[in-house]
Structure 1
Amino acid sequence: MEGLSGADADLVVYLHPSKSMKVSQGILRELSSLLFKFNKTFGGVLLAYDVNILDKQAKILSGVHPYFGLRLKANLLLFSPKSDMLLEGKVVKLSQESIHVIVLGFSSAIIATENIRGEFKYKTKDEEELFASRSHKRHVIKIGTMIRFSVKSFDEEILHIIGSLMPAHTGSIRWLDRNLEEISEFERSATKSRDRECQEDKTVDEGATPLSYNNHIKKSKKRRNKEG
């Protein structure tokens, strides 16, 4: 899945003197407070970390509260979705107007009907709501389905994603993984069809020029004969 990345960071964590006997615990508590929140410094949502304490002796900071700082080397796992990236999530709610998805267990996404390609048709089967493909009978999206969708926008403050199922390579992950070759063949056929239509249009345009030119010559000859 796109949107996930690793990063190496040099950090300084400031701890209260009361934590001096439990430094490791204090560091982990401070870093844990950053989890599942968007951080501008990191440029994404912190999902996980692995740290190595570099300082053997903490540096005392002067001030009202004598905090001490420790330098860390950290490996971070970040979530930073951008427009047109492909994400994966589980459908948790579905209606005629929208599909609601949970990504990585914490971020919510919504895909409105205007962002669902016409191939999918909403219907109810055995009292269960679903979106079924008109082109592929087994391509079905319902509650519990893991889907792949593209990102239209991402609200960093509330970690909310606006998604889309317009691209041909989006939909049920299970169906997509089994039918990648069929999708590729469909896209190639569509491309060839468009190229063929463009070529036909070009041929017609090219043929129109001499025809118009000949008509112009005939009209000019008739005009000269009348004048003569």
Structure 2
Amino acid sequence: MEGLKLSEAELMVYIHPSKSRNVFQAICRELSSLLFQYNESFDGVLLAYDASVKSKQAKILSGLHPYFGVRVNTRLLLFDPKPNSLVEGEIVKISAESVHVIVLGFSAAVVTDVDIREEFKYRVRDGEGSFVSRSHKRHVLKLGTMLRLQVQSFDEEVMHIAGSLIPENTGCVKWLEKHSEEALHTDRDHKRRKLA
């Protein structure tokens, strides 16, 4: 899935003197407060981190609250889907007008009917709606399906993705992977016949 990146950074974490007995725990608490929020400094949403203290020396800041700064080496897992990148998520709601998806368990995505390619037709069976491909009957989008969609925009404030199913490489992840494997096997068989 695109939109995920691993980044290494050297950070200065400021800690209150009352937390000086267990500095590493205080560092983890400060970094944990940044989880699942968009951060301009990181240019993405912080999903996970791995931190190690660079040195045992700290810089004391003067002022009303004399915090001290500790240099920390971190590895950060960030989520920042750019336009035209592909992301995957589970379909949680489906109607004739839209498909709603949860990406990575925290970010909402929606694909409206104008962004669903004409190949898909909305059907209701046993009270449940789904989109079924007209050209490939087994390519079905329904509740619980893992969906690959193209990002049109990402709103950092509310963690919302506007998506599209217009490109051919979007749709049900299982069907896309199976279809690409079949195409690969067919291509290999065709090359073998040519060589023989």
TM-score normalised by the chain length of structure 1: 0.79
Preserved CA contact (<8 Å) 1:169 1:183: no
Paired position in structure 1 for 2:166: 166
Q: Which has the higher helix share?
A: 1
Q: How does 1:217-228 map to 2 (within 5 A)?
A: none
In structure 1, the residue matched to 2:26 is 26
Match of 1:2 in 2: 2
Partner of 1:141: 141
Which amino acid in 1 is paired with 2:90? K
Counterpart in the other structure of 1:197: none
- Note the alpha carbon deviations across 1:130-185, whole angstroms, 9 max, x for none: 0001000111000100010100111011110000000011100011110015678x
The superposition leaves residues 80-131 of structure 1 with CA deviations (integer Å, 9 ceiling, x where unpaired) of 1011100000000011110000000000000000000000000101211100
Structure 2: any 5+ residue segments left out of the alignment? 185-196
TM-score, normalisation: structure 2: 0.91
Give the length in aligned residue pairs.
184
2:129 maps to 1:129: yes
Matched residues in 2 for 1:49 and 1:38: separation?
Answer: 14
SS of alignment partner, residue 56 of structure 1: strand
RMSD of aligned alpha carbons? 1.2
For structure 1, the 5+ residue unaligned runs are 185-228
- Moved runs in structure 1, 4+ residues, more than 4 A? 181-184
Q: Which residue of 1 aligns with 2:193?
A: none
Q: How does 1:81-100 map to 2 (within 5 A)?
A: 81-100=81-100
Amino acid at match of 1:173: V
Query: Shift of residue 41 of structure 1?
Result: 0.7
Whichever of the two has the greater Rg, that structure is 1
Residue correspondence of structure 1 range 1-228 to structure 2 within 5 A: 1-180=1-180
Bigger strand share: 2
